[in-house]
Chains A and B, each alone.
Chain A
Amino acid sequence: MTDPAVSVVLEDDPTPLVLTVGRTLRAGTRDPESRRLLASLRETVVVRSKDDPQSVTIRFGEGRVWVGHGSASDADLVLTVDLADRFAVESVTGAEPDAPLVADVLRVLRPPLPHWRNAAVRFWELTSQDPGMPRELVVVCEEEELVLGGGLPRYVLCGEAEKLARVLSGTDVFLDEVYTGSLAVRGTMTQLSVMAGASLKVRFHA
């Protein structure tokens, strides 16, 4: 049986969180289970940050999911989440925390992470031609190393497997992880800027 097609539609002039949720849902369309849920959900869900005023409204409909900023008053479910931890739920309004709807929405907001190598290859495909990008990206994960592109300038990115997968797939913010030390980098400051931009491109538009 063919999986149902689902399109993710964003509001005009989307906010960063709308773009992030949109990309996350689009990633879900590439996963059979998430795609099935995206096609079956019909509710309106608000996702709001536990730390700041950011929020989005997701309207699930037949074959189409719409995402816009702000908290709709007609939401069936409100999830207060940790945006820095893949929408980890802090509190729920409109349903019991263990209700199936909560589990389904979380499933589509947390699609399976790719392997860090696949995430790196996809990241490089999307960004390597952008202005200022290094000619070579070396991704180091413990004893493993993946070299993408070739030549100088080179940029080196080191981290644990899950962190690399999260950053390179756009799930986590590159610059935040560099600041907190969970990613180590070697390259110039101007390349740091470009890599931060590349990370945003993947986070918002992949």
Chain B
Amino acid sequence: MPENIESWLAEHRIESIRIEGTNLEGAFIGKNVSPRKFASGLKSGFAFADVAFGLDLGNAPQFGFAMPSWRGDLADIFLHADLSTLVEWSPGRASVIGGFWAPDGDPVSACPRNALQRMTKLLADRGYDAKVAVEIEATVFEESIQEARSKGYRDLTPLGGNAGSAYHLAKSKDWEDYMLAVARRLEELHIPWEAWGDEAASGQIEFNVAPADPVTAADYWARIRQVMREVAFEQGRCVTFMAKWCDEYGQASHINVSLERDGENAFYDEFGPSQVMTHFLGGVMATLAPATSFALPAITSYRRLQELEGPPTTVAWGVANKSTAVRAVVGHPKYSRLEYRTPGADANIYLVLAAVLAGGVAGLDGKIEPPEPFDDMAWCLPPGMPKIPNTISKAAEALRADTLLTGVLGQELVDYWLGTRQWEWLQFHTTGGDPDAGLTEWESNRYFELP
């Protein structure tokens, strides 16, 4: 963080600063301010209408639920910049990420970044530093976003050709050019990417980023998606983070979590999960069904949940078992971790991480024992194993019935979230969606470009 902001802005010849945050829908929102306005707003915060947290992705106001005290008749809420995130985004332009606060100085309960900060602090209060790495999947297309819009986001051409998928290097140069440009931009922004490659479908890529504290990891996620969109615009391409952009291919956003204590991996034990990992996992598994509402936030999110297609369908965990919802990586002093495999590429990572950490906190506090590890393939099972909720309404119901996750995450956030999920369900069914059809135009129009 620069010691003197005004000097930093002058040194970098900054003409505008983009102040940024992530709303409840997972969209990267913000506005551009002059250096003078930026300096004056650092203490007071930057005003946004409260509907920044009250519009759906179709731009309709969300109604149908009780609203907390920070919502009013288009009242102001304030984005407070976290100056540790200040970077030169491009020549003449800076970027800074923040969280949202009410006029009375209380954090906006529905601000995902605030929620994640709270959960991180709860762990810190218990002596643990969480380390998180987020996998980012997306599909890139030959078409520009303008062409995609004119085609209704249908019949697009995945960049790099259709021959093969998953680790193939025989991709056309246009694909490499795009990915190399993204990686270069990440270097410029000091985002420590580790790997990228061809994922499991045509045009699909995966970016891996180095582990970081939860809020930083989520900030990376928000910025990488923005970079991927901007590079696509520059190259006349487009990119989507839909959970499924067509009926065939889904995309995920797996989350890897571990806890450190005094600089050592607290999940590590020579012979398997440590006691800390065991209890954290116990809480994560006990809250996996209600947390699905956060991991799979949209109508399309649930289209991924097909047996044998990659995403988990069963509430189960296993050691080195990628067919389960949570994969435990054990026995390594550095890499022992939990991989949370439910989230779709459309998940709001701040929120999902907050939910996962909240589950972990509940597990640590309650010394919750997880179910037995599942050693077989966790797809196509006979009846008996609990299933991950497979619709937005079932997931909402699981969250509504929960007390464990809500007790840590906060009733106000959960209630507000559930209100918005009821709205999303209602809008899908009553404004053109069809639960019995494949991917609908309603979904393409709503989710291709946002969040």
Contacts and interface: CB of A to CB of B under 8 A. Distances in A.
A189 interface: yes
Contacts of B72: 188-190
A203 to B, nearest CB: 11
Contacts of B426: 16, 200
Given A131-B66, A197-B65, A16 B394 contact: no
B69 to A, nearest CB: 9
A155 to B, nearest CB: 13
B63 A175 contact: yes
A189 B74 contact: yes
Contacts of B422: 200
Interface in A11-67: 13, 15-17, 52-54
Interface string B406-445: 0000000001000100100110011111111100000000
Contacts of B71: 189-190, 193
Contact of A69 (B64, B66, B436, B437): B436
B437 A53 contact: yes
Nearest to A71: B436
Contact of A193 (B66, B391, B433, B435): B66
A192 B63 contact: yes
Given A197-B63, A197-B419, A200-B64, A189 B429 contact: no
Contacts of A196: 63-64
B66 A132 contact: yes
Given A188-B72, A189-B73, A15 B435 contact: yes
Interface residues of A, number: 22
Contact of B65 (A13, A15, A193): A193
Given A132-B65, A197-B419, A200-B64, 20 more contacts: A13-B391, A13-B394, A16-B426, A17-B430, A52-B431, A52-B432, A53-B433, A69-B436, A70-B435, A70-B436, A132-B66, A190-B71, A190-B73, A193-B64, A193-B66, A194-B65, A196-B63, A197-B64, A197-B65, A200-B426
Interface of A: 13, 15-17, 52-54, 69-70, 130-132, 175, 188-190, 192-194, 196-197, 200
Given A17-B429, A54-B429, A69-B436, A130 B66 contact: yes
19 contacts: A16-B429, A17-B429, A17-B430, A53-B437, A131-B66, A131-B415, A132-B65, A132-B66, A132-B67, A175-B63, A189-B74, A192-B63, A193-B62, A193-B64, A193-B71, A193-B419, A196-B63, A197-B65, A200-B422
Interface string B44-77: 0000000000000000001111110001111000
Interface size class of B (residues with CB under 8 A): 20 to 34
B393 interface: yes
B436 to A, nearest CB: 5
Closest 8 CB pairs of A and B: A132-B66, A53-B434, A131-B66, A197-B64, A196-B63, A190-B67, A193-B63, A189-B73
Contacts of A194: 65-67
A69 B393 CA distance: 14
Interface string B266-302: 0000000000000000000000000000000000000
Contacts of B74: 189
Contacts of A69: 435-436
B429 A193 contact: no
Contacts of B434: 53
A54 B430 contact: yes
Q: Which of B66, B415, B435 has the most CB of A within 10 A?
A: B66
A132 to B, nearest CB: 3
B354 to A, nearest CB: 22
B203 to A, nearest CB: 29
A173 to B, nearest CB: 9
